[in-house]
Structure 1
Amino acid sequence: MKIKNVLPIFLFLITLPFYAQNEKMDEKREKIKAYKVFFLTTELELTSTESEKFWPIYNAYDDKQFELRHQKMKSYTKKINDESFKSMSEKDAATLLSQMESTDEELYLLRKKYMTNLKKILPAKKIIILRKSEDDFNRKLLHQYRDKAGKN
C-alpha cells in the first residue's frame, strides 16, 4: 500500500483520540509540529535563504491542509461512524459523497499550488527529499503511536 493512501488514515488515527480534549489536542499537535520542523530542517539542509522562503509557504500549506482534513473530514466521519448512515437515503448519501469529493479536490488543488510555490524556491532534488522526509516522519510518528498504544 502506498504512503499517500495510508497518510489520511494515519492522520485520522493520530487525531482521533484527541478530539475529546481540544486543549490537549492543540498541545500535542504543537509538539508534533515542532518535532516535524526539527526533522525536516535536518533532512532538507536548507540554506538560510531557502529556509526564510520555505517555512512560511510550508506552514501555510500545512495549516490549510490540517483545517480541510480536520474540519470537513471530521463532519463526514461523524456521519459515517454514526449508525444512522445505514438508514441514509440515496440522495443524502450522494450529497455526502459529493461533499467528500469536493474536499478531496480542494486538497488536490492546495497541494498543486503548494508544489508550484515550492518549485520557485527549492531545487527539484530538495522537493523530492522533502516528500520522502515527510513520509519518513509520518512513518516514525505512526510507529511511536503504535508503540505507545501497545504499552497501554
Structure 2
Amino acid sequence: MKYFLRSVLVVLVLAVASATAFAQAGRPDRLSQLENAKIAYITDKIALTQDQAQKFWPVYNDFSDKRRELNRRLRQLRITAPDALTDQQIKDNLTQAMDLREQEVKLEKDYFTKFQKLLSIRQVGKLYMAERDFTREVIKRVADRRGARTLSPASRSDE
C-alpha cells in the first residue's frame, strides 16, 4: 500500500509538473519544473532514502551538467553542413565528435563508480532505467501534445 501511494504521488507530481511546464512554453521556469519532476521520478524509481538523496543529488547534478555540456558541444559540430566545409574541416569535426563521445563514455564510467559509492548496484541499475523511462515519457507527452495541435477542428470531429 505504501508503494502504491508513493507511486500515485510521483505520477501526480510528474503529470502536474509536465502539464505546467508545457502549458507555460517559453517561460524560463519550465526547465526547472521539468527537472523537479525528474528528481521526483528518479527518487521514487530508485527508492532513495533521505540520507542517500542528500549525497546523491549533488553528484548526479554535476554528472548531468557535464553530460549536457558534452552533448551541446557535439550538437554544435553537427550544425554545419558538410558541403559548406573543406575536407580538412570535415575531418576535424568528425575527429572532435569522436573525442567528445569518448569523453562522454569516460564521464559515464567515472560517475558509475561514484554512484556505486552512494547507492546499491541495484539502485544504480534502476537509475539508468529511470533516466531512459523519464526521457521517453517526456518525449511521448510532447509528441502527443504536438499531435493534438496539428489536428484541425474538422479532423477532430471525425474521430
- TM-score, length of structure 2 as denominator length: 0.72
Q: C-alpha offsets along residues 91-115 of structure 1, whole Å, 9 cap, x if unaligned?
A: 1110000111111111111111110
Q: Please name the residue that 2:112 is paired with.
A: 115
Structure 2: tracts of 5 or more residues without a match:
1-25, 150-159
Change (3 A) 1:94 1:25: farther
Shift of 1:66: 1.1
Percent identity between the two aligned chains = 24
Q: Deviations over 1:22-62 (max 9, x none)?
A: xx475332222111001111111111221111111101001
C-alpha distance in structure 2 between counterparts of 1:54 and 1:124, whole Å: 14
Q: How many residues align?
A: 125
Between 26-35 and 93-102, report the one with greater CA deviation. 26-35
Aligned to 1:139: 136
RMSD: 1.8
Selected match of 1:92 from 86, 89, 93? 89
State the partner residue of 1:46: 48
Gaps of 5+ in 1: 1-23
Q: CA deviation at 1:87?
A: 4.1
> Partner letter of residue 44 of structure 1?
I
Question: In structure 2, how many angstroms separate the alpha carbons of the residues matched to 1:91 and 1:27?
Answer: 42
Question: Aligned partners of 2:67, 2:141: CA distance in 1, in Å?
Answer: 23
> How far did 1:73 drift?
2.3
2:33 corresponds, among 31, 34, 53, to 31
Q: How far apart, in 2, do the equivalents of 1:75 and 1:127 lie?
A: 31
Partner amino acid, structure 1, of 2:86: S
Letter in 1 for 2:106: L
Question: Which of structures 1 and 2 has the bigger CA Rg?
Answer: 2
Q: Which has the higher contact order (CA 8 A, sep 6+)?
A: 1
Q: Secondary structure at the match of 2:80?
A: helix
